[in-house]
Structure 1
Amino acid sequence: MLSRGLYAITDSTLLADGRLLPYCRAALRGGAQLLQYRDKSDDHDKRLREALQLRELCETFGARLIINDDLELALACQAHGLHLGQSDGSLAEARARLAPTAVLGATCHAELTLAAQAERAGASYLAFGRFFPSQTKPGAAAAPLSILHDAGQASRLPKVAIGGVSLDNATQLINAGADYLAVVNSLFALTTAQAVERQAQAFCALLAGAQPTD
C-alpha cells in the first residue's frame, strides 16, 4: 500500500440512479487511491456486475478496489482487497484465501486490542473511527483523535480514519496520525461528478502537503 492517500467509500443510496460509475470515476480522477465498494443489498448479480465495473475503473486509474464485508464477492470479481468489520468474518480466513498481494483492512473502532489482533491475523491496514458525527453510521461510538497516535506507536501498519471526515476536519486527522482519510458523504453527497473530482483533489492536496508523523 501507499503510505498516505484518499480512501473513497461508496454508498448505494447516494450513488443510486446511475451515479455510481461517473461519481467513482470522478473520485479516482481526483486522486483517490483506494475505492471501497459498499452495498448491503441482496442483489448478488447487481453487486457482482458493479464490482467488476469498479475494478476496471480502478485499474484504469492505478487505484485499488476494496470490497466491503464480502469475501466471496471479493474473490468473484478479483478485487484488489477486502475490508472486514468486527462481525463480518474471519480476517485469518480472508488472508488465507485472498491473493498474497491483496489488501486486507480491519475495523478497529477505538481499541488497540482489536488492532493488535487484526495485525496478527494479517491485516494490511487498521481503520479507526468514527471521529466526527457520521451520516453513514450515526449511532457508532465516537473515537478520540489520540487513538491514531497510540496506534502509530504500537504498529507500523497504515491507519485509516473514518467517520464524518470532511475538508474542515481532515487536517486534524492527518496531524493526529491518519495515513488514509476514508470519505463517504463529503465526496458522494455532492451534486455533480465535477464537484466530486474537485473535492477529491482538495483532500489529496491536504494529504500531499502534510508531513509524515513519527
Structure 2
Amino acid sequence: MVPDLSGARLYAILDLGYVPEPKIEEVTRALLEGGADVLQLRAKGHSEERILEFGKRTRPICRDAGVPFIVNDHPSLAVELDADGLHLGQDDGSLEEARKRIGPDRLLGRSTHSPTQAKQALEDGFDYIGFGPLFPTPTKKGRPGIGLENVEGVEQSVGMKIPVFCIGGIKRANLEDVISAGARRVVIVSDLLTASDVSSAVRQARLQITGS
C-alpha cells in the first residue's frame, strides 16, 4: 500500500550538499525528532554506490520513527533500499517508466515549476508534487524563483486531490508569507540543515505551519 501523505505538512530533505557525511545519522534523527513528516535523501553528484551507503544509514532511522523515506532521482536505489517512495524532477522520466521499476506500493513525487506542470503531474498520476522554487535557492542554481502568486491557485486545484509541497528558498523568516499565500505544506532544506539546533528549528517551523 502506498504511504499516506495527506497529514504531512513539513517535508525535510537530507541534502548532502549541506550535511557532512559523518553527521548523516545525527542530522536525520534531529530532523525526525523535531517533527518532520517526510524525509528525502538527496545526494547530487554522488555515485549510486555512495547514495546506497547513505540510504542504508538513514532508512532504518526513518523506519523506526514511522516517517516515510524518499529517494531522490534513482528508481533502482528506491527499490534496493526498500524506500517508501521516489522523487523525480521534470526531466527524470515518465511516471509509467518509474512505476514499472519501483512497483505499485511506493510513492511517486514530481518536481513542478508552474501551474501547468502541476496540473500535468496530477493528470499523469503522481502521488504528490513539489511546487517551486518559490524563491531563488542555491540548491537550484540558475533557476529564478517563481514567486507566490500561483500558490493558492495550485493548492485549490491540484492540492485538493494530491499533496502539494511548496519548495525553494523557504525559511522560517519567510514562512509566514508562504502560508499567507495559501500554502498548506512546505519543504524546507538549508534553513533547517544549517541551524545550530536542527530539532529546535524543525519544531519552530512546524509551529509556524500548523499553529501547534
Common fold, TM-score beyond 0.5?
yes
Tell me the residue number matched to 2:151: 148
Inter-CA distance 22–187: structure 2 relative to 1 (3 Å threshold): same
**Separation in 2 of the partners of 1:29 and 1:152?**
28
User: 1:75: how far off?
Assistant: 1.2
Residues 135 and 144, structure 2, Cα contact 8 Å, conserved in 1 = no
Tell me the residue number matched to 2:115: 112
Tell me the residue number matched to 1:161: 166
Task: Please state if 1:91 is matched with 2:95.
Answer: yes
5+ unaligned residues in a row in structure 1: which ranges?
A: none
SS at the partner of 1:7? strand
Residues 95 and 122, structure 1, Cα contact 8 Å, conserved in 2 = no
**Separation in 2 of the partners of 1:134 and 1:42?**
20
Deviations 1:34-80 (A, max 9, x none): 11101123432221121122221111112111111111111111111
Residues 134 and 147, structure 2, Cα contact 8 Å, conserved in 1 = yes
Residues 160 and 179, structure 1, Cα contact 8 Å, conserved in 2 = yes
Task: Please state if 1:15 is matched with 2:8.
Answer: no
**Separation in 1 of the partners of 2:183 and 2:127?**
15
**Structure 1 residue ranges, 4+ long, deviating more than 6 angstroms after superposition:** none
**Separation in 2 of the partners of 1:42 and 1:10?**
14
RMSD: 1.7
When normalised by structure 1's length, the TM-score is: 0.89
When normalised by structure 2's length, the TM-score is: 0.89
Tell me the residue number matched to 2:71: 67
Q: Quick one: which amino acid aligns to residue 184 of structure 2?
A: D
Inter-CA distance 20–175: structure 2 relative to 1 (3 Å threshold): same
Number of residue-to-residue matches in the alignment: 206
**Separation in 1 of the partners of 2:20 and 2:165?**
26
Tell me the residue number matched to 1:33: 37
